[in-house]
Amino acid sequence: MVRRPSVPVVLFVVATTLLAAGGLAWLLDADTAARWTWLAGTALGLVSALATTLEAVRDRRPTVDVIAVLALAGAIWVDEPFAGAMITVMLATGRLLEAKADARARRELSLLVARAPRTAHRRTVDASTDTVVDVPVAEVVVGDHLLVRTGEVVPIDGRLLDDAVLDEAALTGESRPVELEAGQDVRSGVVNAGGPVELTATTTAEHSTYAGIVRLVEQAQATSAPFVRTADRVAVLFVPLTLVVAAVAWAVAGEPVRAVAVLVVATPCPLLLAAPIAIMSGLSRAAGMGVVIKGGSALERLATGTVLLSDKTGTLTQGRPEVTDVLAPEGVDPDEALRLAASLDQVSAHVLAGSVVHAARHRGLVLDMPSEVAEVHGYGIEGIVSGRRVRVGKAAWIVGEEVPRWIRQARRRADLDGSLTVFVGVDGGPACALLLSDPIRPDAPRTVRALREAGIEHIVLVTGDRSDIAEMVGRVVGVDAVVAEVDPEGKLATLARESARGPTIMVGDGINDAPALAAAGVGVALASRGATASSEAADVVLTVDRIEALADAILVARRSRRIAMRAVVVGMGLSLVAMVVAAAGHLPPAAGAALQEGIDLLAIAIALQAVLPARGRRPMPAGDISDARRLRIEHDAVLPLVERIRAVADGLTTDEPRLGAVVELREALQAELLPHERHDEAVLVPIVARALGGTDATVGLSRTHAEIEHQVGRLSRLVDGVEDEVSPEDVVELRRVLYGLYAVLRLHNAQEEELAFSLVPGAAPHRGPDSMTPPAQT
- Give the residue numbers marked as catalytic: 311
- Asked whether the beta carbons of 479 and 460 are under 8 A apart, the reply is yes
DSSP code per residue over 198-234: EEEE-S-STTSHHHHHHHHHHHTT-S--HHHHHHHHH
Tell me phi and psi for residue 567, to 5 degrees.
-65, -40
- DSSP tag of 766: P
Cα–Cα distances in Å, from 693 out to 128, 477, 628, 703? 62, 22, 17, 19
HSE of 548, CA atoms in CB hemisphere, 13 A = 14
Cα–Cα distances in Å, from 764 out to 440, 442, 444, 618? 13, 10, 14, 20
101, 110, 105, 106: which is closest to 272 by C-alpha?
A: 101
Q: What is the dihedral of CA 102, 107, 113, 115, to 10 degrees?
A: 160
Q: Strand, helix or coil at 393?
A: strand
CB atoms within 10 A of CB 576: 15
Angle at 361 between CA 357 and CA 365, to 5 degrees: 110
E-assigned strands of 236-329?
291-293, 307-310, 322-327
Q: What residues have CB less than 8 Å from 585, skipping those under 6 apart? A: 249, 253, 255, 258
Strand order in the sheet with 164-167: 178-180, 164-167, 191-192
- Asked whether the beta carbons of 88 and 41 are under 8 A apart, the reply is yes
C-alpha–C-alpha distance, residues 561 and 144, integer Å: 47
E-assigned strands of 499-622?
504-508, 522-526, 540-542
